[in-house]
Structure 1
Amino acid sequence: MIDLRRLHVLRAVAHYGTVTAAARALHFTPSAASQQIRQLARDLGVDLLEPQGRGVRLTPAAESLLAHADAIQARWEEAERELHSGRDTPAGPLRVTGFPVAVAVLLAPMTARLRERHPRLAVRIREAGVPEAFDLLFEGETDLAVVESTPHNPPPGDARFDQRPLLDDPFDLVVPEGHPLAGRDGIDLAEAAREPWIAPVPQSPCRPHVMSACGAAGFTPDVVHHALDWNVTAHLVAHGLGVALVPRLAALSPALPLVRVRCAGRPHRKFLTCTRAGGDRRPAVAAALAELRALAATAVT
């Protein structure tokens, strides 16, 4: 019989990419994690890891086993739900995760609504970026995440996760007051092609959206400043140091002399809800998803 704890170590190696990273996430030593996988391989009578350069990679047998392992995890989520099927009122702890804008606009008001409607439900919010949110879901440290869609997310068909569209957050061109484009109801982004630009830092999930929007408009922006936080971007724009694409849901200080201008073609980023496969049918998670969908319907104006 397969030891499910050893199987989880193999799943962690596949998720994190190396034995060392998997061991760190599981609070093992690398040697202990390797031993777990070697024992699993002996139990099954197949090789699960093979050398690749200085590291290792999964064998075809391991890849095949993982497809079953992900299905087992989903069935386990389903089994837990069925065991508690008589408790259809949301109750107990619910751990939710999101990046800063998602926490401010969606998860905080969602938690307040759930507290009023389901007093036996204890929601705990954790701020986290996209890669960490998927790690927390995989590790069982969070039950529901609101993430941005990025090229680095697991593919939609990944059997470990259930990812669903939640809303589209449009980008506006933000310019200083008095700028020639400030009085317009809407613009073609190409009209800002010759402007100096302020862009998200290269590791930001929004960086590809900004560069793609400019590329679709037929130009590569002259990026003279980079910022991680949207309010840093806003201060740079307010001082006349460039223009920027900023998501509409990113709250900027009303005291700054800025103007948001809507863009033709509606460049946007996508918000997704994500749970472990099968986890969305838990009463607490289902209640949270319903509130999120209601909030998302009116979040963008």
Structure 2
Amino acid sequence: MIDLRRLHVLRAVDHYGTVRAAAEALHFTPSAASQQIRQLGRELGVALLEPHGRRVRLTPAAQRLLAHADEIQARWEVAERDLRADDDQPAGLLRLAGFPGAVSALLAPAAAALAARHPRLTPRIREAEAADCFDLLFDGDADLAVVEAKPDEPPRDRARFDQRPLLDDPFDLLVPAGHRLAARERVELAEAADEPWIVPGAPCTCRTHVLSACGAAGFTPPVAHDAVNWEATIALVAHGLGVALVPRLARVPESAPVVRLTCAEEPRRKILTVTRPGARGDAAVAAALAELERLVPVLIAG
């Protein structure tokens, strides 16, 4: 009989990349984590760890077992939810995670609406970047995450996470009021090629989107300032210090002396919802997803 706790240690080593990183996430010592995997191997009659330099790594047998381990974990979670469910109404703690822009534009209003509509449901939001969101989901510390996909990067761990598109978020060109382009409704990015640019700082995913969009338009933006926070970006543009690409989800105050222009190239980023496999059947998660879907057209139109 397989010990599911030991199987989870094996999955953690694969997810985090090393025995040490997995042990730290699980609050084990590295030797204790290794021992759990060796014991699992003895139960199955195969070696799951092998020497690799001064460290150890998962064997081919362990990699084959992982394909089944993720499916076992998903089925077990579905069984647990089925046993706990006394009706189809959302109830209990719903743990939501997302990057800062998603928290402001999507998760906060969704959580407020869910709490009002379902008194037995308690949404809890955690701000986290994409990599941390995946870790929170893997560790069982989040039920639903909203993440920003990186350009030209395939979805992470396809079998381990259920990742689905939520929206394509367009980028607009933000210029100071009175700028030579401010009277236009639609511009080509190349028209701003010689402007000073405010670009998101590394390692923000939006930096990759901005640089990719400018590169596709045939230029490298001359970076005058770096800003991760969209409020800071808006302030820099408002003071005439440059132009910027700003996603539609980023709210620009009406009082700010800036103008938002549609880009002819229509650059955009993909926003995904991510759960563990099978979790979308949970009443609370399903209610949250429905609320997010309801919000999207309003936000993009605005």
SS at match of 2:5: helix
The one-letter code sitting in structure 2 at the alignment partner of 1:264 is A
SS at match of 1:206: helix
How does 1:79-94 map onto structure 2 within 5 Å? 79-94=79-94
Say whether the 8 Å CA contact 2:155–2:163 is kept in structure 1: no
Gaps of 5+ in 2: none
SS at match of 2:205: coil
Distance 1:119 1:154, change over 3 A: farther
The aligned counterpart of 2:33 is 33
Cα distance between partner residues in 2 of 1:53 and 1:259? 57
The aligned counterpart of 2:245 is 245
The one-letter code sitting in structure 1 at the alignment partner of 2:272 is L
Residue correspondences, number: 301
How does 1:202-217 map onto structure 2 within 5 Å? 202-217=202-217
The aligned counterpart of 1:99 is 99
The aligned counterpart of 1:184 is 184
Say whether the 8 Å CA contact 1:81–1:281 is kept in structure 2: no
User: How far off is 1:157 after superposition?
Assistant: 6.7
> Does residue 32 of structure 2 align to residue 44 of structure 1?
no
The one-letter code sitting in structure 1 at the alignment partner of 2:262 is R
How does 1:135-284 map onto structure 2 within 5 Å? 135-150=135-150, 155=155, 158-284=158-284
User: How far off is 1:53 after superposition?
Assistant: 4.1
Q: Deviations over 1:105-129 (max 9, x none)?
A: 1111111211222111111111111
The one-letter code sitting in structure 1 at the alignment partner of 2:146 is V
Cα distance between partner residues in 2 of 1:152 and 1:35? 39
Q: Deviations over 1:171-230 (max 9, x none)?
A: 111111111111110111111111121111120011111111111111121223211111
Say whether the 8 Å CA contact 1:231–1:253 is kept in structure 2: no
SS at match of 2:252: coil
Cα distance between partner residues in 2 of 1:169 and 1:261? 15
- TM-score normalized by the length of structure 2: 0.94
The one-letter code sitting in structure 1 at the alignment partner of 2:119 is P
Q: Deviations over 1:109-166 (max 9, x none)?
A: 1112112221111111111111111100000001111111125977267111111111
The aligned counterpart of 2:6 is 6
Gaps of 5+ in 1: none
Cα distance between partner residues in 1 of 2:160 and 2:77? 11
Pairwise CA RMSD of aligned residues?
1.8
Structure 1 runs of 4+ aligned residues shifted over 4 Å read 151-154
Say whether the 8 Å CA contact 1:166–1:272 is kept in structure 2: yes
Distance 1:156 1:30, change over 3 A: closer
Distance 1:132 1:154, change over 3 A: farther
Say whether the 8 Å CA contact 1:175–1:258 is kept in structure 2: yes
User: How far off is 1:251 after superposition?
Assistant: 1.9
Cα distance between partner residues in 2 of 1:20 and 1:10? 12
The aligned counterpart of 1:131 is 131
The aligned counterpart of 1:285 is 285
SS at match of 1:115: helix
Cα distance between partner residues in 2 of 1:239 and 1:188? 23
Cα distance between partner residues in 1 of 2:154 and 2:216? 25
Give aligned-pair identity as a percent.
Answer: 67
Distance 1:37 1:67, change over 3 A: same
